[in-house]
Structures are given as structure tokens and as C-alpha cells.
Amino acid sequence: MLTFMFPGQGAQHRGMGAALFEQFPRQVEQANAILGYDLPALCQQSGPKLNDTAFTQPALFTVNALAEMSVRRTGVEPDFVIGHSLGEYNALLSAGVIDFETGLQLVKMRGELMARQNGKGTMIAVLDPDLAQLQALADELSPDFCIANDNSPKQLVCAGSVAAVEGASRRITAGNIGKVVPLKVSGAFHTRFMADAAAEFRQFCARFSFKPGRLPVVSNLSARPHDGRDWPERLAEHLTRPVQWRQTLAYLRQQGPMLFQEVGPGTVLTTLAKANLTLH
């Protein structure tokens, strides 16, 4: 069996998608019309704009989508699809729950709403963590500090208020709980600090139609396939709840012999898959 994995924010880099933009001019034209700017030009920029959440999300969604179109041209078809955070929208596209136009409109609004939360928190990666001690610290400091991405036994991402994250970082370092790496983000994604964005996004999602998926999409929230119900609620909830990536890979491993193929720029998810799978 085969699982396609679609990366999320953090996988973007200057020059991504250049060859794909040439292969799929019709989709690029459609994206430019929806976004209101030249997407290939954005992806060639070396300035901060590509790393601005409002621009990063539609750019990555489009590059991921074109990368999948290119892979499918070869006749390769997955049995399961997953996406990390933003990448879950590409998983929904791959499964036929949404079409390209709908997906791009959704992630455009999602990125804009999340960007508006600037200053409402921050995030850190914790490498080689003592999982029990880190969870105990998160429980103690909740709701101002929590685990936002459970990526692998070797990497967790924590988020919260700036003051709480700074304090937790000092305690993690002093207590040898793990190595702290600050992340260049504008907010505490996948936490309660995204509640305002989630409320508005729920209303926006209600304007769209969602189809039954032709492939299982394993949810970031539950690490189980989506049941296909109440998509506006699920997509809004996705902004405020943690990404269960380690648990997602564990679920897929239980389905039988599985190959994992990253579809999109970079190898972030391939690295995380190896970190999870080599420990079992």
C-alpha cells in the first residue's frame, strides 16, 4: 500500500514549484486569478513575503497540488492520503473532497485569518525531548503553553503565549528536557490562541460544498480517517487543536505494509516518517 504525504507550512523555499508552474499553466493562471497576484513570481522572491502566513499557505497548497498532478501523470495512485497541518487540504483535494479552486479559496482565507493573529503567541520545536517531562510541563502551564504538533518521539512543537513559551523554554533547557529551537512564526498555531480565526473560518467554510472522499484521509485531529461529516466544524477545529502526526503514522503502519511518498517541496515529512518508523 502507498500513502501520499503533503507538507505544511515550513516546507516553503525560494524557487519552489518552478518546473511545475511550466507544466501546468492553466492551473497557475487559475491560481493567479483567485489570489490576485503572480504566484510564480512570489515563489522566486528572496524577501519575507513568501514566509508570511497569508502568502505561504496558498503558495504551498498550489505547489503541493501541482506536484501531485505530476505524480499522478505517471500512473501512481495512493491508498491513503495525509497532510501535515496545511497539507491536510491537499489530502482532501487528492481524495476528491474538494476541488482545486475550492481548496485554494479555503487556504487563502485560512492564511489571512491566521496572519491576523500576529503577536498572539509563538512556537518552539523541542528536539530529543523527554516526553513524560514535557507533557507534565504542558499540563502544568496549560492553557498558556501546550504541545501543538506531536511529530515524532524525536521532535515535538510547543506553542502558547510569548511569556509562557519563554518561561517554558528556560525550564526545558535547565531541566535537560530537550533542545529548544525557536520557530519563525507569527502566532501559536493549533492552540486556543487561534479561536477567533477558527470562528470566522467556520462561517467561511459553510459557503462551500464538500464531496464524499474516494480515498481515506487520515485526520490530524484524531489520527483516524475522516468520517466526512460537518466539514466546516472539522476545518475550524483544525486551527485550535494539535496535530497528531506521530499517531497518524502509527495508525497507517497498522494497516499493513506501507510505503510513504512525500508530495511537495522538501523532505520534512520524509524525515519525520523515518524518525517514527525506524523506532518500531
Q: How many helical (H) and strand (E) elements, i.e. helices and strands, does the chain have?
A: 12, 7
Among 212, 253, 257, 206, which residue's Cα sits nearest to residue 97? 212
Residues 6+ apart with CB under 8 A from 212: 96, 97, 228
Q: Is the dihedral of CA 221, 260, 109, 232 positive or negative?
A: negative
Q: What is the pLDDT of residue 33?
A: 98
Q: What is the pLDDT of residue 117?
A: 87
Beta sheet of 122-127, edge-to-edge order:
145-152, 155-160, 122-127, 179-182
Ordered by where they begin, the domains of the chain are 2-117+191-277 (3.40.366.10), 122-182 (3.30.70.250)
With vertex at residue 156, the alpha carbon angle to CA 155 and CA 161, rounded to the nearest 5 degrees, is 145
Q: What is the pLDDT of residue 279?
A: 46
Q: What is the pLDDT of residue 120?
A: 84
Active-site positions read: 85, 190
Radius of gyration of the chain (CA): 18
Q: Could you give the CA distance from residue 202 to residue 236 in angstroms, rounded to a whole number?
A: 5
Structural contact between residues 275 and 155, judged by C-beta atoms closer than 8 angstroms: yes
Q: Could you give the CA distance from residue 116 to residue 194 in angstroms, rounded to a whole number?
A: 10
Q: Could you give the CA distance from residue 274 to residue 232 in angstroms, rounded to a whole number?
A: 33
Residues of the chain scoring pLDDT < 50: 279-280
- CB neighbourhood size of 162 (10 A): 13
Distances (CA, A) of 145 to 73, 113, 161, 206: 44, 21, 7, 30
Residues 6+ apart with CB under 8 A from 275: 151, 152, 153, 154, 155
Among 36, 72, 9, which residue's Cα sits nearest to residue 269? 9
Output DSSP code: residue 225.
Answer: B
User: pLDDT of 31-84, one tens digit each?
Assistant: 999 999 999 999 998 778 999 999 999 999 999 999 999 999 999 999 999 999
Q: What is the pTM of this model?
A: 0.95
User: pLDDT of 66-79, one tens digit each?
Assistant: 999 999 999 999 99
